[in-house]
Chain A
Amino acid sequence: MIKLQDVSYVRLGTADLEGATNFATEYLGLEVSHRSKDAVYLKSDQREHTLCYFAGSPADQTAAFEVSEQSDLDAAAAELEKLGHRVRLGTAKEAELRQVRNFIAFQDPTGNNIELVWRPAMSSRRYHGERDAGITGFSHIGLCTTDAPRDEEFWTKVCNARVSDRIGDAALLRIDEVHHTIALFPTTRAGIQHINHQVESGDDVMRSFKFLSDRQVPMVFGPGRHPTSSAKFLYFEGPDGMVFEYSSGVREIADELLYRERQLPFEPKGFCEWGAKPEIKEFRN
């Protein structure tokens, strides 16, 4: 079994690196950790980077997860190859760019680009956002799935994820005590469906709602509160149509033995208990 420890970073291609960087810093509130000629690395917490925009196709998207040991990487590569996934060992140059010691790359059954990384760099300097969005860190991703039961099986049987709740067939998966780190949303494409950053409080969610609305950032869902994770949320659209989320107050599941996942309806009230209605394609029938 592949033991995922945490979601590590997201890499997004963009045709407008400058525009994407402006959004990530001035609107989203991340901090530029460093730049190279054709990439910008952004920081949201104690980690050296959690989001990378690089010059390339917006369809080129990758999510990375951390594993504890070099041996975990080797075992994962062997297991994935046995299952018929093509596994690529990251080169030293690539690992350096990603600020990790070692990594492997593969695609999940839907075709999402996934990297498993060992020893991702921590920063000695704490995160100081470009604006006071109250961000406490990069926390989870939504992943597209073209076959929800198949992908749920991949993430829970081949990897160590557990189902925390389901909204229709969309499974919210945890790999530690946080309610979900991966959420699988049924659709017809591969790619990252949304990127979540946690903020300090519900007040921060509401302040950002005003801040971003004032700047004509398209609001696509919320402010609202998820009945599943109990988090207060706000979804908005960033560069290349990527959906970003702020949320606060996500539930933690401390007792693995006692917890039982719940089924919620795939309709607005399954996504929001305040009554907000999503404008996000993957959240609608």
Chain B
Amino acid sequence: MVELEQLRFVRLRPNDLAQAADFATRVLGLEPVDRTPETATFRSDYRDYTLAFGQDRVPSVGLEVRYSSDLDAAQKALGQLGLKTGRGSTEDCALRKVKDMIWFTDFSGNRFELVVRPLNTGWRYFPSRDAGIRGLTDVLIRSTNIEKDLSIWTGVFNNAKVRDWAGDAAYLGFDDAHHRLAFFPADKPGILAVEYAVEDVNLLMRNHYVLRDLQVPVVHGPGRRPASDQLFLTFAGPADVLFSFVAEGANISPAHQPRQFPAGPEGLCGWGSDCRVTEFNALAKGRDR
């Protein structure tokens, strides 16, 4: 069994790199780190980067484990489940600024990367605009088979636990945060939303008005998630991926038991905010059938 330590990065492939980079700095307010004609990375906290735009064939989510031996163990266990996995080359590792890595695709076809010794920054984070970002906090993922995909996480990683359910969507956590990954039923794989924590409700609402001025389409929120108690504001980003600002949110106590919340917008927002995310609304339709 392998221990997951941290959520580290999200790698996306935008159609227009310049436009995506502009979104990252002007809308999200992230700090540009490295830039080549094909790639751009952005910092949001103590990690060297948490968002990378590049030429990868499929988008991926990076998670940290402690030792190379953990990678060996994970690769073996993932292989036994019949999943496609591979070791990262020296070049792959250099590109990601990690010491060692493996990758795997889950049953839906989502790519995850497990990395060892990813780079932290020695310099503090200095945002492009004062959005009040505290850091990358969680990622929402589309799944075509929730049950099988979850079995990977709970089977291979001993600290990964389903924290709550909203309809068939599952919140998965591995540290004291309510969740780091959340899987939503969908008809195709992919990253649904990348979520950055902001300082507090004031920053969240300030960002709401900034997004309005910047004419960024808000697709869900501002609202509060009944399961995680997070305040959220979800909006459209590059590469067909949504981005969210989130704030507050409950930490997990040792006595926490997974709870079932309603499917659809009702189970995803306690304020009744308008929801224009197909995957969130589809849940509600699924329940009615």
Write the nearest CB–CB distance from B36 to chain A, whole angstroms. 35
In the complex, the answer to whether B272 meets A207 with C-beta atoms within 8 Å is yes
A-B contact count (CB 8 A): 39
In the complex, the answer to whether B272 meets A223 with C-beta atoms within 8 Å is no
A154 within 8 A of B: no
- Of B202, B205, B272, the residue contacting A210 (CB under 8 A) is B272
A275 within 8 A of B: yes
The answer for the CA separation of A214 and B271 in the assembled complex, in Å, is 12
B208 within 8 A of A: yes
A81 within 8 A of B: no
- Of B201, B202, B213, B272, the residue contacting A211 (CB under 8 A) is B272
Write the nearest CB–CB distance from B238 to chain A, whole angstroms. 24
Interface flags, A178-215, vs B, CB<8A=1, else 0: 00000000000000000000000011001101110010
Write the nearest CB–CB distance from B225 to chain A, whole angstroms. 12
Q: Considering the complex, give the chain B residue whose CB is closest to the CB of A211.
A: B272
Count how many chain B residues have C-beta atoms less than 8 Å from C-beta atoms of the other chain: 16
Q: Which residues of A contact B224 (CB under 8 A)?
A: 203, 206
The answer for the CA separation of A209 and B202 in the assembled complex, in Å, is 17
Interface flags, B258-289, vs A, CB<8A=1, else 0: 00000000000011111000000000000000
A47 within 8 A of B: no
B18 within 8 A of A: no
The answer for the CA separation of A211 and B271 in the assembled complex, in Å, is 9
Q: Considering the complex, give the chain A residue whose CB is closest to the CB of B202.
A: A225
Asked, given contacts A274-B208, A274-B209, A275-B209, whether A206 binds B223 with beta carbons under 8 Å apart, the answer is yes
A276 within 8 A of B: yes
Q: Considering the complex, give the chain A residue whose CB is closest to the CB of B205.
A: A274
Q: A210-B272, A274-B202 are in contact. List 15 more A-B contacts (CB 8 A).
A: A203-B271, A206-B222, A206-B273, A207-B271, A207-B272, A210-B273, A211-B272, A225-B202, A273-B202, A275-B205, A275-B206, A275-B209, A275-B210, A275-B213, A276-B209
Between A and B, 11 residue pairs with Cβ closer than 8 Å are A202-B201, A203-B270, A203-B271, A206-B271, A207-B271, A210-B274, A232-B201, A274-B205, A275-B206, A275-B209, A275-B213
Binding site for A on B (CB under 8 A): 201-202, 205-206, 208-210, 213, 222-224, 270-274
